[in-house]
Amino acid sequence: MDMKTLYSAGMNFDAFMGTGIKSERDRIPKNYSRITMTEDEINIVKNIEKKINFLVSGEPWCMDFQLNVTVLKKFCELNPNFDMAIITKARGEKFLKPLMEVEEFKVPFIVPLTEEFEVCGDIFVERPKEIKKFVYEDVKMDYLKGQYLNETIKDLIEMITKK
Protein backbone atom coordinates (compact mmCIF):
# COMPACT_ATOMS: atom_id res chain seq x y z
CA MET A 1 0.00 0.00 0.00
CA ASP A 2 1.35 3.43 -0.91
CA MET A 3 0.33 6.97 0.05
CA LYS A 4 -1.47 7.65 -3.23
CA THR A 5 -3.61 4.53 -2.88
CA LEU A 6 -4.40 5.33 0.75
CA TYR A 7 -5.28 8.90 -0.18
CA SER A 8 -7.59 7.75 -2.95
CA ALA A 9 -9.37 5.46 -0.47
CA GLY A 10 -10.19 8.44 1.76
CA MET A 11 -13.33 10.54 2.03
CA ASN A 12 -13.76 14.27 2.19
CA PHE A 13 -14.51 15.83 5.58
CA ASP A 14 -18.28 16.16 5.17
CA ALA A 15 -18.72 12.61 3.88
CA PHE A 16 -16.55 11.21 6.66
CA MET A 17 -18.42 13.11 9.37
CA GLY A 18 -21.63 11.91 7.74
CA THR A 19 -20.69 8.42 8.94
CA GLY A 20 -20.88 9.64 12.53
CA ILE A 21 -23.92 9.82 14.76
CA LYS A 22 -25.91 13.04 15.14
CA SER A 23 -24.20 14.20 18.36
CA GLU A 24 -20.78 13.82 16.68
CA ARG A 25 -21.88 15.72 13.58
CA ASP A 26 -23.47 18.43 15.75
CA ARG A 27 -20.12 19.29 17.35
CA ILE A 28 -18.54 20.35 14.06
CA PRO A 29 -20.40 23.68 13.54
CA LYS A 30 -19.76 24.56 17.19
CA ASN A 31 -16.04 23.80 16.84
CA TYR A 32 -15.90 25.61 13.50
CA SER A 33 -17.43 28.73 15.03
CA ARG A 34 -14.66 28.77 17.65
CA ILE A 35 -11.86 29.01 15.08
CA THR A 36 -10.40 32.50 15.22
CA MET A 37 -7.51 33.23 12.92
CA THR A 38 -5.56 36.45 12.77
CA GLU A 39 -5.33 38.30 9.46
CA ASP A 40 -1.67 37.22 9.26
CA GLU A 41 -2.59 33.56 9.76
CA ILE A 42 -5.30 33.75 7.12
CA ASN A 43 -2.86 35.35 4.66
CA ILE A 44 -0.18 32.74 5.34
CA VAL A 45 -2.66 29.93 4.63
CA LYS A 46 -4.15 31.63 1.56
CA ASN A 47 -0.74 32.39 0.06
CA ILE A 48 0.76 28.89 0.07
CA GLU A 49 1.17 28.24 -3.62
CA LYS A 50 2.15 24.59 -3.53
CA LYS A 51 -0.44 21.83 -3.76
CA ILE A 52 -0.80 19.95 -0.46
CA ASN A 53 -2.85 16.80 -0.05
CA PHE A 54 -3.56 16.12 3.61
CA LEU A 55 -3.98 12.44 4.40
CA VAL A 56 -5.85 12.17 7.69
CA SER A 57 -6.60 9.12 9.79
CA GLY A 58 -9.29 9.44 12.42
CA GLU A 59 -12.78 8.69 13.61
CA PRO A 60 -15.91 10.88 13.80
CA TRP A 61 -16.38 10.05 17.51
CA CYS A 62 -12.88 11.23 18.45
CA MET A 63 -12.95 14.63 20.17
CA ASP A 64 -9.36 15.36 19.08
CA PHE A 65 -10.41 14.66 15.49
CA GLN A 66 -13.52 16.83 15.78
CA LEU A 67 -11.48 19.77 17.06
CA ASN A 68 -8.25 19.63 15.10
CA VAL A 69 -9.44 18.36 11.73
CA THR A 70 -12.15 21.03 11.73
CA VAL A 71 -9.28 23.56 11.71
CA LEU A 72 -7.74 21.71 8.77
CA LYS A 73 -11.12 21.86 7.02
CA LYS A 74 -10.99 25.65 7.43
CA PHE A 75 -7.49 25.72 5.91
CA CYS A 76 -8.75 23.73 2.90
CA GLU A 77 -11.58 26.23 2.46
CA LEU A 78 -9.13 29.15 2.53
CA ASN A 79 -6.72 27.70 -0.01
CA PRO A 80 -7.81 25.88 -3.20
CA ASN A 81 -4.35 24.27 -3.37
CA PHE A 82 -5.22 22.20 -0.30
CA ASP A 83 -7.17 18.97 -0.32
CA MET A 84 -7.95 16.45 2.39
CA ALA A 85 -8.79 12.77 2.36
CA ILE A 86 -9.75 10.94 5.55
CA ILE A 87 -9.32 7.26 6.28
CA THR A 88 -10.42 5.37 9.37
CA LYS A 89 -8.18 4.80 12.36
CA ALA A 90 -8.11 1.06 11.61
CA ARG A 91 -6.94 1.66 8.03
CA GLY A 92 -4.39 4.17 9.32
CA GLU A 93 -3.01 1.69 11.84
CA LYS A 94 -2.84 -1.10 9.29
CA PHE A 95 -1.30 0.85 6.39
CA LEU A 96 -0.24 4.40 7.36
CA LYS A 97 1.57 3.51 10.58
CA PRO A 98 4.08 1.21 8.85
CA LEU A 99 4.51 3.65 5.93
CA MET A 100 5.36 6.43 8.38
CA GLU A 101 7.45 4.08 10.56
CA VAL A 102 5.97 5.29 13.83
CA GLU A 103 5.75 3.30 17.05
CA GLU A 104 2.59 4.82 18.44
CA PHE A 105 -0.45 5.69 16.34
CA LYS A 106 -2.96 8.20 17.70
CA VAL A 107 -5.64 10.12 15.85
CA PRO A 108 -6.05 12.42 14.24
CA PHE A 109 -2.90 11.55 12.36
CA ILE A 110 -2.36 14.20 9.67
CA VAL A 111 0.27 13.80 6.96
CA PRO A 112 0.94 16.59 4.43
CA LEU A 113 1.70 15.23 0.97
CA THR A 114 2.94 16.79 -2.26
CA GLU A 115 1.11 16.46 -5.56
CA GLU A 116 3.22 13.33 -6.08
CA PHE A 117 2.05 11.99 -2.69
CA GLU A 118 5.40 12.34 -0.94
CA VAL A 119 5.51 13.53 2.67
CA CYS A 120 6.26 17.27 2.66
CA GLY A 121 6.30 18.38 6.29
CA ASP A 122 5.84 17.38 9.88
CA ILE A 123 2.93 15.20 10.88
CA PHE A 124 0.26 16.31 13.33
CA VAL A 125 -0.61 13.65 15.88
CA GLU A 126 -3.64 13.78 18.17
CA ARG A 127 -3.29 17.20 19.82
CA PRO A 128 -1.34 20.45 19.40
CA LYS A 129 2.21 20.42 20.77
CA GLU A 130 1.29 23.02 23.40
CA ILE A 131 -1.34 20.72 24.94
CA LYS A 132 1.21 17.92 25.18
CA LYS A 133 3.29 20.09 27.52
CA PHE A 134 0.57 19.89 30.19
CA VAL A 135 -0.93 17.13 32.23
CA TYR A 136 -3.92 16.54 29.97
CA GLU A 137 -6.45 16.36 32.80
CA ASP A 138 -5.39 19.88 33.89
CA VAL A 139 -6.37 21.44 30.55
CA LYS A 140 -8.90 18.92 29.25
CA MET A 141 -12.08 20.95 29.78
CA ASP A 142 -10.67 24.12 28.20
CA TYR A 143 -9.22 22.05 25.35
CA LEU A 144 -12.53 20.32 24.65
CA LYS A 145 -14.29 23.71 24.65
CA GLY A 146 -12.00 24.78 21.80
CA GLN A 147 -9.88 27.18 23.82
CA TYR A 148 -6.67 25.78 22.32
CA LEU A 149 -7.69 25.82 18.65
CA ASN A 150 -5.23 28.68 18.14
CA GLU A 151 -2.47 26.18 19.00
CA THR A 152 -3.77 23.82 16.32
CA ILE A 153 -3.68 26.73 13.87
CA LYS A 154 -0.05 27.43 14.78
CA ASP A 155 0.98 23.78 14.45
CA LEU A 156 -0.74 23.37 11.09
CA ILE A 157 0.80 26.60 9.76
CA GLU A 158 4.20 25.37 10.90
CA MET A 159 3.52 22.08 9.11
CA ILE A 160 2.69 23.71 5.76
CA THR A 161 5.40 26.40 5.82
CA LYS A 162 8.32 24.20 6.83
CA LYS A 163 10.89 23.90 4.07
Please tell me the predicted confidence (pLDDT) of residue 9.
97
Helix axes 39-46 and 149-161, enclosed angle (nearest 10) = 40
Q: Can you tell me the mean pLDDT for 142-156?
A: 97
Q: Could you tell me how far CA 106 lies from the centroid of its own chain? A: 12
Q: Over the chain, what is the mean pLDDT?
A: 97
DSSP track, the chain: --HHHHHHH-B-HHHHHTTS-HHHHHHHHHHHHT----HHHHHHHHT--S-EEEEEEE-TT-HHHHHHHHHHHHHHHH-TTEEEEEEEHHHIIIIIHHHHT-S---SSEEEEE-TTS-B-S--EESS-HHHHTS-HHHHHHHHHTTTTHHHHHHHHHHHHH--
Q: Which residue has the higher pLDDT, 163 or 109?
A: 109
Please tell me the predicted confidence (pLDDT) of residue 23.
97
Please tell me the predicted confidence (pLDDT) of residue 128.
98
Neighbours of 129 (CB within 10 A): 14
Q: Can you tell me the mean pLDDT for 43-69?
A: 98
Fold for the domain defined by 3-161: Glutaredoxin (3.40.30)
Please tell me the predicted confidence (pLDDT) of residue 101.
96
Check pLDDT > 90 for residue 150: yes
* Whole-Å CA distances, 4 to 23, 55, 91, 94, 149: 32, 9, 14, 15, 29
Q: Can you tell me the mean pLDDT for 141-161?
A: 97
Check pLDDT > 90 for residue 162: no
Angstrom distance (rounded) from CA 103 to CA 27 = 30
Over the stretch 71-89, which tens digit does the pLDDT of each residue have? Answer: 999 999 999 999 999 999 9
Provide the edge-to-edge strand list for the sheet that holds 52-58. Answer: 82-88, 52-58, 109-113, 124-125
- Say if residues 136 and 120 touch (Cβ distance below 8 Å): no
Check pLDDT > 90 for residue 163: no
Q: Can you tell me the mean pLDDT for 135-158?
A: 97
